[in-house]
A and B are shown apart, each in its own frame.
Chain A
Amino acid sequence: MEISGPDFIKGMAFLGAGIAMGLGAIGPGVGEGFAAGKACEAIGKNPNEAGLLTRTMLVGQAVSESTGIYSLVVALLLLFVV
C-alpha cells in the first residue's frame, strides 16, 4: 500500500476526529446521566417541586454538555476545515 503525504494527513485527521468525538462523548454521557438520575430521585422525594428540579437538572446538564460540544467542534474542524 503506497501512502502519499496528503493522504496520510487526511487519514490522521479522520482518525483524530473519531478519537476526539468518541472520547469526548464519555464524560457528558456519564455526568448528565448522573444529574438526571439524581433529579429523578429528588422529584421522588419532593414531587411538588418537579418544575424547579427539572429546570436545575437542565441547567446543570447544559454546563456538562459544553465539553462535549468542544470535542464536536474540534472533530468538525478536523473533518472539514484543516
Chain B
Amino acid sequence: MFDPTTLLNASAFMGAALAIGFGAIGAALGEGYTAGIANEALSNKPESSGDVIKNMLVGQAISESAAIFSLVVAIVLLFSRPSTVVTITSWAAIGAGLSMGLSAIGSGVGSGMPAGTACMGIVRQPGNSSKIITTMLIGSAVCQTPAIFGMVIAFLLLFIDFSHVPLYPGWAAMLGAGLATGLAAIGSGVGNGFTSGEAVSGIARQPETTTETTRVMLIGLSVGQSTAIYGFLVSLLLLFYGFEENTNLSSSMRLLGAGLSSGFGGIGPGIGLGLASAYAVRWVARRREEVGNLVRTMLVGMAVTESTAIYALIVSLLLIVVF
C-alpha cells in the first residue's frame, strides 16, 4: 500500500501521540492527589508548610518520572529513525508507544498515593518525619517499576531490528507485545500505590511498628508486581518467539488476543492485590501482635485474587504456543 518509510513515519507519529497521551494521565492524577492531600494536611497545621511543601514536591517528582519516560519515548519516535526500515517496523513503533504510554498510567497514580499520605503524616507526627519519608520513597519507587517494564519493552521495540520477522503474523506480535505490558502495568502500579499509602500512614501513626509494617508492605508490593511480570513475560515471548510466516487472519489475531488477554487480565488482579495488602498493612500497624494471622490471611486472599490473572496468562500461552 505505502512504502515502508512512509508507513513508519505515520506510525511513529501515532506511537508518539499514544505514548505521551496515555503517559500524561497517570502522573497528573497522582500529582493532583498529592497536592490535594498536602493542602488538607496544611489546613490542620499551617505552620509546617515548609516541610509539607518540600515533601509534596519530592513525592510529585517521583510520580513525574513515569511521564518523563513517556516524553523520552515520544521524542525518540518523533525524531529518530532506524537504519533498516521494513513494514513491520511501523507496527513496532505503535507497540512501543502503547507499551510506554499505558504502563505510565498506573505508576503515576500509584506513586502519588504514598506522597499524599506522607504529607498528612508529617503534619500529624512531625517527630517521625524521617521514617515517614523513607517509607514514602521506598513505596513510590516500587510503584514506578511497572512503568520501567513498559519502558524496557518500548526500547526493545524501538531499537531491535525486527526485519527478519515475517510481517504476517509479526505485526500482531509487535502490537500484542506493547499491549500486554502496557495494560498489565496499570493494575500493578495502582495496587502498589494503595499498599504504600497505607504503609506510610500506618508508620506515621505508630512508628514503633515500622519494622513489621515495612516488611508486610514489601511482601504486598512484591506479590502485587506479579501481574505486571506476567504481562512482561508475554511481551517478551511475543517479541522473541520464532513465528513462521502465516498470512491467515486467525494466525495474527491469536497473537493480538494473547497480548490483550495478559494485558487486560493484569488490571483487575493488580488492583485487587494492592487492596488486599493495603488493608493488611493498615491493620499490622494498628495491631502488630496479629501480624502472623494478618499476613497468612492476606496471602491466602491474594492467591485467590491472583487466579484470574493466571487464567489470562494460561490463555495467552495457549494462543502463542499451542494454536
Binding site for B on A (CB under 8 A): 5-6, 8-9, 11-13, 15-24, 26-39, 41-43, 45-46, 48-49, 52-53, 56-57, 59-61, 63-68, 70-71, 74-75, 77-78, 82
Contact = CB atoms under 8 A, between A and B. Distances in A.
Among A9, A67, A77, the most chain B Cβ lie within 10 Å of the Cβ of: A67
Interface residues of B, number: 52
A24 B24 contact: yes
B10 A67 contact: no
B144 interface: no
A74 B57 CA distance: 25
A32 to B, nearest CB: 5
A63 B31 contact: yes
B24 A28 contact: yes
A75 B31 CA distance: 22
Given A27-B24, A31-B32, A63-B57, A41 B40 contact: yes
Contacts of B34: 60
B21 interface: yes
A18 B36 CA distance: 29
B42 A56 contact: yes
B56 interface: yes
What is the predominant secondary structure among interface residues of chain B facing chain A? helix
A64 B115 CA distance: 14
A46 B49 CA distance: 14
B35 A66 contact: no
Contacts of A59: 35, 53, 56-57
A64 B9 CA distance: 31
A19 B37 CA distance: 30
Given A19-B14, A26-B25, A78 B43 contact: no
A56 B39 contact: yes
Interface string B3-14: 100110111011
A11 B10 contact: yes
Contact of A74 (B3, B17, B28): B17
A49 B43 contact: yes
Contact of B32 (A11, A19, A28): A28
A35 to B, nearest CB: 4
B32 A33 contact: yes
B67 A70 contact: yes
B56 A74 contact: no
A28 B26 CA distance: 9
B71 interface: yes
B110 interface: no
Given A27-B27, A60-B60, A20 B17 contact: yes
